[in-house]
Chains A and B, each alone.
Chain A
Amino acid sequence: MGGAARDLARTVAAAVAHEPVALTVKNLSAFSAADTAEIRRVFESELKTAGQPAAEVRIAISENLTQFLLVAEIHRQGDRQVLLESWPRPPAPSAAALQDKPARVTLEKKLVWEQDQPILDVAQSGDAILVLDATRVLLVRGAERQSAPIPATHPWPRDIRGRLSVSDSAFTAYLPGAICRGTAQPQLSLVCRDSPDPWLLAPGAIALFAPDRNLFPGHIDVEPGGARDLPPFYSAAPAGDAWIFAAADGRAHIYTHSWESAGAIDQWGSDIAAIQTPCGARILATRPTGRTEPDAIRTYDLGVSEVNGGAPRPAGPALEFSGPITALWFAGNSATAVSRDLQTGRYAAFILAPTCGS
């Protein structure tokens, strides 16, 4: 940027015979105000701006899909001259750079179900979609619908959460203080019972869920490592050997493999999840928004060494939603998210699929 600005400034200075000019600089690009000020400073250092101007010089910082441009319009004695300098936008990383730098991860969301009642989770079972809400498990296969009721043997918490785990045609629905087991083939079946059994938190990790709250009270059992008691948390994600917990205190706490505290993150919401992408494991996190604001989910590159005092690094653009995220769960190579549309009040469940690029 600086070199192009200096080259153009010198060309302009020669074009106006080094006489005084009236200089204006406007920014039509994504450059920051600081960059714009720096470019102005370069031109001011090369051009005479004091004294009676012999020419008017208008500098524009511009861009197209692949280049940044500096465009100088020189108006002098009724004549108009246009001079350009350009430099490429940052290119796609080279092979060497790709090895050093994590690939950019883009999330694509695919709507799989929408309804008026709050959706707790969705899961794919073969060619069918299972939809969990507080009253039923719904099976959607093409135009076919099957529904199995969930008996409410005790009052649900006001902000009920639930989780589906699928293995072949069998599935488990985790609810506060209850567990339902069922099959999706050949017909939808479901058997529920009150149970304090832990929920599947992530592969190889289970945690107790409070029967009368919307959070995990903190007792987890991780393979390997065994049982552990932590502060209450809403969601959790493994990050390599470490763990991250979106805790009830509003911060995401990081623990090493030996369960030593390794810092905390303030920029995340209460829903986080780990996801396997084609370019490795990443963390998904919501924003710390309220229940009446649109939310977004972003992927992060995270290692314990990086978060030990530093902010997490976004691995790709934020995926925006039209309302708050009410559920976010890992699903292996993908994740499921539920959002409440602020306009319609309806709940929409999405499968989030990651792709990698440079």
Chain B
Amino acid sequence: MLAAPAALDPTAANAAPLRSLAFETLVRLDEAGAPQPCLALSWQHDAAARRWQFNLRPAVKFHDGSPLTAAVAAPLLQAALPAMTIAATGDTAIAIRANRPLPDLLLDLAHNGWLDTGPFRQTAFEPGRRATFAANEDYWGGRPFLDVIDVQLGRALRDQLADLQLGKADVVEVAPTDLRRALGATGLSLSSVWSSAPVSLIALAFPGSDPRLREALALSIDRAAMHTVLLQKQGEVSAALLPQWISGYAFAFPTAPDLPRARALANALPPAARTLTLTYDPSLRVARSLAERVAVNARDAGLAVQVSPQNPRADVRLVEIRLASLDPEQALAGLAAALGLETPAAAASPAALYESERKLLDGYRAVPLFHLPVLYGAASRVRVSASSPITHLGDWRFDNVWLSGTAP
């Protein structure tokens, strides 16, 4: 039996949100999504964007105390970005080359090539249970304010909210459906609710079933009503796999229900074939209420949907999938894999990517519903001195977080 990894792997699919506490990349995105210096202080490229040079930030140390140099960083980056040629060209200079233009290289480098130079060091990691981090005294950006971060993993969201109310936790994840209750019950102000970009796809996934049945169910769903009532307008209604901020074209996938057509499709089916079982994972943030509302919408179209949590034989699953990449092509491939869809064709342009996504969604094997942000509620003593402590992809950037009542 393999031992569980004793350290957080920043490349693992579930590495967010903890990854950015301990690991950093050459560049990072600011709140507007523009690349900004991180471990690379500056960069330049040739006219074709095939050859890039990055100048590393001086006086950066890894958590083991060794200095960040180009000679050390280049092979680590090469392992993370095997499609490119990466080499040290000086003490602090790294060259990245490819046979094709790399116009999105800064985007790739914002979530690839993680180096353990971050503001906190991992001190313990039990996958699924607990992770602890200690302040990195040698952090190049200055020692973070917090001494220790103790993270309990796998705790139910309702329990997390209770922990916040009881003062047992300072920061908890909040389900969009619980946001109003959280604000009312805990006295959280809006400024102490932290949000990522919409990074979680909520969708229906059909492993099989009649295509007319899938389409009938898809066209019966009133996303806007669910968004307003159940999700309290958090995130975005979407019929696309990629969120609008990643693709730029998500709005071109129609989201409105078409009940007459849904009824016509349902009526064309034999009565015995108008029945579906819908399952969900109860640990997902908003699964139960959304599943029940899907069943209500389906009934309006003449379909009978039975909601059955954790049912492996169900006809359709309500799933939540977190985006793992800022690169649209990589993100689409990741979502397709998670939904059991075919691998999308390579896409060199938004038009080609749109076509790939449209083909994935033809046949209604996956029916996107929403893109939701990850929300966190912070106790009143938690303060933030700079930009948002949550990155676009939902990672934690807690080096500027401190607790009032303690010396910053």
Contact = CB atoms under 8 A, between A and B. Distances in A.
B400 interface: yes
Contact of B252 (A65, A73, A91, A357): A73
Contact of A66 (B41, B42, B104, B358): B104
B interface, size bucket: 35 or more
A90 to B, nearest CB: 10
Interface in A91-150: 91-95, 98, 103, 106, 108-114, 140, 143, 145
Interface string A68-92: 1101010000001011111010011
Kindly name the residue among A63, A84, A143, A279 whose own CB sees the greatest number of chain B CB atoms within 10 A: A84
Give the interface size bracket for A toward B.
35 or more
B350 interface: yes
A113 B408 CA distance: 6
A231 to B, nearest CB: 36
A261 interface: no
Interface string B17-51: 00000000001011001011100011111110100
A98 B141 CA distance: 25
Interface stretch (A157-165, A195-203, A348-356): A348-356
Given A94-B46, A94-B47, A62 B36 contact: no
B44 A64 contact: no
Given A86-B349, A111-B385, A279 B248 contact: no
Given A69-B248, A82-B354, A317-B30, A108 B103 contact: no
B402 A111 contact: yes
A67 interface: yes
Contacts of A311: none
Given A64-B246, A64-B247, A93-B44, A114 B408 contact: yes
Given A82-B252, A88-B103, A109-B385, A64 B36 contact: no
Given A110-B141, A111-B408, A357-B37, A62 B248 contact: yes
Nearest to A88: B103
A259 B29 CA distance: 43
Contacts of B249: 62, 69, 71, 82, 84
B328 interface: yes
B385 A92 contact: no
Contacts of A37: none
A160 to B, nearest CB: 23
A28 interface: yes
A94 B44 contact: yes
Contact of B245 (A65, A68, A353): A65
A280 B103 CA distance: 27
B407 interface: yes
A108 B351 contact: no
Contact of B44 (A88, A95, A355): A95
A358 interface: yes
B190 interface: no
Contacts of B141: 108, 110, 353
Contacts of A140: 407
A108 B49 CA distance: 28
Contacts of A93: 44
B107 A110 contact: no
A350 B385 contact: yes
Contacts of B27: 357
Nearest to B385: A111
A345 interface: no
Given A67-B350, A82-B252, A92 B247 contact: no
Contacts of B43: 92, 357-358
A60 interface: yes
B41 A110 contact: no
Contacts of A88: 103
A16 to B, nearest CB: 17
Nearest to A64: B248
B324 interface: no
A151 B384 CA distance: 35
B38 to A, nearest CB: 9
Contact of B386 (A63, A109, A114): A109
Contacts of A91: 45, 49, 103
A278 interface: yes
B42 A356 contact: yes
B408 A355 contact: no
A92 B106 contact: yes
Contacts of B30: 106, 317
Interface string A251-278: 0000000000000000000000000001
Contact of B45 (A62, A86, A95, A114): A95
Interface of B: 27, 29-30, 33, 35-37, 41-47, 49, 53, 57, 103-104, 106-107, 141-142, 145, 244-249, 251-252, 254, 326, 328, 349-351, 354, 358, 385-386, 400, 402, 407-408
Closest 9 CB pairs of A and B: A111-B385, A64-B248, A84-B351, A95-B44, A357-B37, A86-B350, A69-B248, A62-B248, A355-B37
Interface of A: 28, 60, 62-69, 71, 73, 80, 82-86, 88, 91-95, 98, 103, 106, 108-114, 140, 143, 145, 278-279, 317, 348, 350-351, 353, 355-358
6 contacts: A64-B247, A71-B252, A83-B351, A92-B35, A95-B53, A357-B37
